Structure 1
């Protein structure tokens, strides 16, 4: 199956309401523009840096609402919620990346 036939599965996360994280090409472009590389963004997420976490969360929610701002996303999350949102955030990112086996088959 060509990569273009693969649909990204949104990952649910409970914020101000149930929302869905999805990292498509637009989200990755935002991450690269802000952090230089996706890996740099992931490193900051692992360090639980507030600004980086807020930005990653925002980037993953853009597919639902292009008018959503980083500040609006930040208002949906308290520092105590970091552990609660880190798992679905990382899952959404990892699920959207090509699997090692996928890259070998090309």
Structure 2
């Protein structure tokens, strides 16, 4: 499933197995053990980069930061990333059985 984010053009975040694998390699831990509440800006850029790799292999985390600075803002980018993760994994409450 894709989640659009408007940067230099409409790009589509997707957190499938390849993107998750890229994130796990960067953080050197399983996705479920990453502290999402204490990410650095560099961490956020890496995660967004991983979610955009499926459509732009030339993109880098540094370029992601430039695109966000030039065409969006950090809050919007974080919300798009959060929505894309929710789309890929469902709400945390659902996984814990609280919303079933």
Normalization by structure 2: what TM-score?
0.77
- Which residue does the alignment assign to 1:69? 60
Between Structure 1 and Structure 2, how many residues are aligned? Answer: 90
Name the Cα RMSD after superposition. 2.1
> Could you tell me how far apart the structure 1 residues matched to 2:67 and 2:43 are?
15
Gaps of 5+ in 1: 1-8, 102-106
Q: Once structures 1 and 2 are overlaid, which stretch shifts more, 32-41 or 9-18?
A: 32-41
Normalization by structure 1: what TM-score?
0.73
Q: 1:96 aligns with which of 88, 92, 96?
A: 88
2:29 maps to 1:39: no
Alignment map for 1:1-106 (pairs within 5 Å): 9-35=1-27, 36-41=29-34, 43-44=35-36, 46-78=37-69, 81-97=73-89, 100=95
Greater length-normalized contact order (CA 8 Å, ≥ 6 residues apart): 2
